Amino acid sequence: MHASFRRDTAETDVEVFLDLDGSGSSDGETGVPLLDEILKILARGSGFDVEVRARGDLPTGDHHTVEDVAIAFGQVLAKLIDSGIGSSIVPSGEALAFSAVRFGASGYRDEVEFLANSLAGMELENYGHFMRTLAYNGGFTLHLRVSGGDDWQKVEALTLSLGRALRRAVRDGG
């Protein structure tokens, strides 16, 4: 199953294509290096094929691009998945992350603290904003928790864990 979604605003132009029956490949060009990595890790963890093209007003910061990619990605998920529950625990170095999803009701909760303000061209406060926006636009409840590790290990463990939880939700709902 596959779908796409395009979002054009005054700040951004975003297009997302998602194939749930893919091989975990990712082709992302957002202009935000960490966001491109997040998309790769989500694809790898979920087994979904993900393509994202985004142009944003990056001179003003990464917020609009990160937010609009999350909105578009969530809208695609909502087109393809309407039920299912999944969870996953994933380590990365010294970090250990837990993710749980349930489709059918939007919600978000996290226990995530980063050490720095930014990483690889992205404000880390926008990581949580990305996840919250993804969940609400995707029509699912998302719980995230991470402990230990440096900021990169936390992002990798959380994102891979989310990808695996999404894959399990697709299997559960199908």
pLDDT in tens, 112-149: 999 999 999 999 999 999 999 999 999 999 999 999 99
Q: Examine the pLDDT at 29 and tell me if it is beyond 60.
A: yes
Q: Examine the pLDDT at 59 and tell me if it is beyond 90.
A: no
Task: Report phi then psi at 51, rounded to 5.
Answer: -125, 130
Q: Examine the pLDDT at 174 and tell me if it is beyond 90.
A: no
C-alpha–C-alpha distance, residues 8 and 49, integer Å: 22
Q: In the chain, which ranges are E strands?
A: 2-8, 12-19, 26-29, 49-56, 84-92, 95-103, 107-111, 118-119, 122-123, 140-147
CATH 3.30.230.40 correct for 2-173: yes
The 8-class DSSP code of residue 20 comes to: T
Question: Structural domain boundaries of the chain?
Answer: 2-173
Percent of the chain with pLDDT strictly greater than 70: 99
Q: Is 116 exposed, middle or buried (0-12, 13-18, 19+ CB in 10 A)?
A: exposed
> 125 in helix, strand or coil?
helix
